[in-house]
Amino acid sequence: MKRKSGVLANPDCKDCPLHEIARNVCVPADGSTDVEIMFLGRNPGEDEDKANKPFVGRAGQLLRNAIGASDLEESELYITNVVKCHTPENRKPNKVELAACDKYLQAELKKVKPKYIFVFGNEALGQLTGKEHGSSSKKKGAPGITSLQGKTMRVDDYIIFPMAHPSFIVRQGGVEDNKGGQRARASYLATFNANVQKLRQMQNDEETVDAAEPEVKLCLTAAAASRALADLEKSDVIAFDLETQGLWPEKDKRLHIVCLSGDGKTSYVIPLQHPETPKSIKDAMPSIREKLGHLLTTKKTIAHRAQFDLLWLRAKGVRCKASFDTKYAGHILDENVPTKLKARSPEDVPGQVEMYLGVPSGYSLDMSQADTHIWPLRELSKYGGMDAAYTWRLRIRHLREFDKEPRLLKLFANVTMPAVELFTQIETNGIEVDWDYLDTLFNDKKKGKCDKRLKKITDTFQASMPACPAVWADDLPPMEPIDGDWDTDDLGI
């Protein structure tokens, strides 16, 4: 593929030994050259070598999923690598290979003329800065990519967003490691989206809607609460969030504040049972409950883990329903990252607002240190109001992802959300149990119908049969009885 400005990819290149082992010599870039955003990686992996396209393997899918979950479109990007051929066992490219491919990178930079470059990995960053990032060399050593991640750099005419290579995240656990993988992916998505938000701000010379701090209006009179509810009636979709005393709505526990947003930009906070709740609001409580109940039953409503909020509101006499739960929507769309709303501190694992909206970590109050009634009303209201606004914005993001996965949307709408209501009712009212019928199935004498069926199954089960290891397929060790003999034969293992 030749351009007037230089060669961007040369399948006949023999400038380094990699051409002897590569399936596809000089894997070309992906994307239009008529863009202002470049993604720059290290070198093609084995999957990229086969496909003759950058970032299509496990690491590539992680990156492309991050793009899809962000405010970016792949059509805005030019995706390439500093080294164009696959290296043996995907090792780091050496200096000879980096030097051999540098002419292609320079041709790409000249042709594309990117304003913004997302750089993945030390080697890619070093090709732009001329330094050895992550090295302690006195001559060319420079900070490594992980210490630079989340910051921006200016190199020549480019604004650089340094990021760890997605393969580094995959090696930390990926989808197989439920804890390490979740933390790594969540932090990566949060950093990626924060960078995207910074990029959009630079492009637009203004703060982006997703990450912009919402305006929180605290209602301190009954009239203000009435005006807020009237204003919210103009919206079609309402997000709500509560701050409560404890987790279970006992009679002596307080529902401190209810936070509502109808556009994701502004939130209203009505103090219901906070120690600082004004007298006029207490006196108007029956009317406020009625208006609030009308709002939360006639509009589309959003909450994060709605079951909790529904339980509390209904226990305090407020009618309500939930149309969309951002916690479960996030889980259905990506089960490999945390579903919580936000990080509890800047050092905590990111939540959905950091991963998907690019909101900086740290706005949360550390509720582990004290009950909510300890917090002054204004401080608690700002925190809760931001939660409501960000929850409203998350629905927009999740719906955008559901558009790409209509079958998942059907599952969410027809199974998950009805289940939220069902389990809320079960948790509120319990389940009626027919004890007489249950006794015919299971009983202390082991004479019930299900008792007999279970005994029949276990009587025919032999732990030494070859098929038994299937029971332990999830990396569990074989059982060993007291006498030290294995319960499973060697062949079966």
Tell me the angle at which helices 285-298 and 222-232 cross, rounded to the nearest 10 degrees: 10
Sign of the alpha-carbon dihedral angle for 442, 448, 450, 452: positive
Q: What is the 3-state secondary structure (H, E, C) of 291-327?
A: HHHHHHHHCEEEECCHHHHHHHHHHCCCCCCCCEEHH
What is the rounded distance in angstroms from the CA atom of residue 463 to the CA atom of residue 259? 56
Contact 242, 313 (CB under 8 A): yes
Cα distances (angstroms) measured from residue 186 to each of 41, 143, 220, 238, 351 = 20, 23, 38, 27, 7
> Which residue, 242, 248, 383, 253, is CA-closest to 301?
242
pLDDT of 206 reads 61
Range 328-346 average pLDDT = 88
Under 8 Å CB-to-CB from 34, ≥6 apart: which residues? none
Instruction: Tally Cβ neighbours within 10 Å of residue 442.
Output: 14
What integer pLDDT is reported at residue 178 of this predicted model? 52
Q: Stretch 152-170: mean pLDDT, rounded? A: 91
How many Å apart are CA 419 and CA 425, to the nearest integer? 10
For residue 463, what pLDDT band results from cuts at 50, 70 and 90? low
- Statement: residue 477 has pLDDT above 90: no
- Cα–chain center distance at 75: 23
Q: Which of 180-194, 227-241, 253-267 has the lowest mean pLDDT?
A: 180-194
pLDDT of residue 234: 96
What predicted TM-score, i.e. pTM, was given to this entire model? 0.71
**Could you tell me which CATH class the domain 215-429 is placed in?**
alpha beta
Query: Tokens in use for 467?
Result: 């098929």
Compute the average pLDDT of residues 322-334: 96
The 8-class DSSP code of residue 84 comes to: -
Q: 16-42, pLDDT tens digit by residue?
A: 999 998 999 999 999 999 999 999 999
2-204 topology per CATH = Uracil-DNA Glycosylase, subunit E (3.40.470)
Whole-angstrom Cα distance, residue 86 to residue 92?
A: 10
pLDDT above 90: residue 367: no
- 3-class DSSP assignment, residue 13: coil
Task: State the pLDDT at residue 468.
Answer: 55
Domain boundaries, the chain: 2-204, 215-429, 435-462
Q: How confident is the model at residue 140 (pLDDT cuts 50, 70, 90)?
A: confident
pLDDT at 208 over 80: no
pLDDT of residue 243: 94
* Residue 308 and residue 391 in contact, taking contact as beta carbons nearer than 8 Å: no
Dist CA 389 CA 341 (whole Å): 12
Least confident segment among 229-238, 277-286, 429-438, 484-493: 484-493
pLDDT for position 460:
62
Does 493 have pLDDT greater than 50?
no
Q: Whole-number mean pLDDT of the chain?
A: 87
Comparing 2-204 with 215-429, is the CATH topology the same?
Answer: no
- DSSP character at residue 91: P
List C-alpha distances in Å: 154 to 246, 383, 432.
48, 35, 66
- Gyration radius from the chain CA atoms: 29
